[in-house]
């Protein structure tokens, strides 16, 4: 794995974490105090809830996003050169068909 991929993954995870925490805080403070009478939470508490749900439910967006690249790389390296060429040709053919469909 190259350093650029790890840096991009870290940046995406941090952006997801902060956006999800902010959205959770807004929705919590908008809905739950008036519906069930719980207290208002701050941003850090919302981020803590995001972390807690990630630990509890283990199959989250973050985990899938981080592991997807590794799985794709591993599968590609298992293919022999002939199969890689066939797969590339198949994708080119599909892309050409999509372009034709868009132009109609």
Domain limits, the chain: 3-58
pLDDT tens-digit readout, 23-70: 999 999 999 999 999 999 999 999 999 888 877 776 656 556 666 555
Stretch among 7-11, 33-37, 100-104 having the lowest mean pLDDT:
100-104
Give the tens place of pLDDT for each residue, 63-89: 566 665 555 566 666 767 777 788 778
Residue 103 is predicted with a pLDDT of 80
Long-range contact set of residues 58-67: C-beta below 8 Å, sequence gap at least 24:
61/16, 62/13, 62/16, 62/17, 65/9, 65/12, 65/13, 65/16, 66/9, 66/13
* Position 20 pLDDT exceeds 80: yes
Query: Could you tell me the pTM of the whole model?
Result: 0.51
């Amino acid at each position: 794995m190259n350093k650029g991929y790890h840096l991009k993954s870290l940046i995406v995870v941090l952006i997801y974490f902060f956006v999800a925490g902010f959205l959770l805080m807004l929705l919590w403070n908008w809905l739950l105090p008036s519906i069930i009478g719980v207290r208002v939470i701050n941003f850090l508490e919302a981020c803590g809830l995001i972390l807690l749900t990630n630990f509890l439910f283990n199959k989250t967006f973050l985990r899938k996003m981080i592991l997807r690249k590794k799985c794709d790389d591993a599968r590609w390296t298992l293919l022999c050169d002939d199969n890689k060429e066939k797969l590339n040709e198949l994708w080119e053919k599909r892309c050409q068909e999509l372009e034709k469909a868009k132009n109609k």
